[in-house]
Amino acid sequence: MKGGSVAGHVPQILVIDDVPEDIRSLLILLRAQPWRLSLATDARQGYQRAVALRPDLILLDVRMPQMDGFTLGRLLRESPATARIPLIYLTSAGALEERLEGLSLGSVDYVLKSCAPEEVLARICIHLQLAWRELAAPAAGSEQPTDDDSLILRAAMRLINQSLDELPSLAEIARKVGTHDKRLSAIFREHLGTTVFAYVRDARIRRAQELLVDSALSMQDIAELVGFRSACNFTTAFRERQGMTPSQFRQQMRGAPATVLGS
């Protein structure tokens, strides 16, 4: 494959950046390639084009108004139409926590805008080649359309389950998945028949059960990992939900005799 293309197919690259002047040299270089290039100047337009065009690779900025690149990345990851498209963050957001967040969202690369255009082009070619090798073996199952509410719901559920130890506020969760708190609450009630708070509570207990069975962590460590302030609070919430203490649950699952007053 030369220049990241295969016989009979011309790769399409989607660039999403609200200030394309910042990457003018790279855009000139990309337009010189035997590829199709599409440019979106805000995240919502970028999402619409990603779904409509199904590009072979997306270059995405982080710091954009209204919806940032991380929020868009979550939505792209949850949509069956775009989940397998390689995503490269190309941004000036270079703080360690920003780079780690971008990579944790499933991006294949995280490149700072100070990087030479020729190096960005080389990275694009590498990821196009890797993507085509993966797509040579189609994923099992047919692709199903996903409405906006389902997309937001799945993104929120994933975010919650990955952030139980330091859960953002409801408003912040909503912002990170591209909506507002009232709409997110309505989506949870309509699709799951529960509130966001109740979903969080159940997610914490489910994760705690996994840690109790699969690890030897102390009650305090497990409490902190699933978002409780203390082992005492964790034990109280667990007993209310499961009818036994965490220690009794661990002993029962491991086949050991349960004590009457575990903690």
Token code pair at residue 146: 């996903």
Q: Quick one: 129 and 18 in the same domain?
A: yes
- CATH number of the CATH domain containing 156: 1.10.10.60
* Structural domains in the chain (count): 2
Token code pair at residue 95: 């703080």
Q: Is the pTM of this model over 0.85?
A: no
User: Of the candidates 44, 37, 46, 36, which has an alpha carbon nearest to the alpha carbon of residue 16?
Assistant: 46
Residue identified by tokens 């957001």 is 93
Residue-range definition of the domain harbouring residue 240 = 148-253
Structural domain includes residue 247: yes
Asked which of 114, 135, 156 is the last residue of a domain, the reply is 135
Instruction: Summarize pLDDT for 54-97 with one digit per residue, the tens.
Output: 999 999 999 999 899 999 999 999 988 898 899 999 999 989 99
Asked which of 135, 168, 186 is the last residue of a domain, the reply is 135
Q: Quick one: 172 and 83 in the same domain?
A: no
User: Of the candidates 49, 40, 51, which has an alpha carbon nearest to the alpha carbon of residue 77?
Assistant: 51
Q: Quick one: 184 and 230 in the same domain?
A: yes
Structural domain includes residue 258: no
Instruction: Summarize pLDDT for 228-258 with one digit per residue, the tens.
Output: 989 999 999 999 988 999 999 888 887 654 4
User: Of the candidates 148, 145, 159, which has an alpha carbon nearest to the alpha carbon of residue 187?
Assistant: 148
Residue identified by tokens 């792209």 is 76
Q: Quick one: 20 and 120 in the same domain?
A: yes
The answer to whether 85 touches 60, Cβ cutoff 8 Å, is no
The answer to whether 56 touches 85, Cβ cutoff 8 Å, is yes
Structural domain includes residue 16: yes
Confidence of residue 52 (pLDDT cuts 50, 70, 90): confident
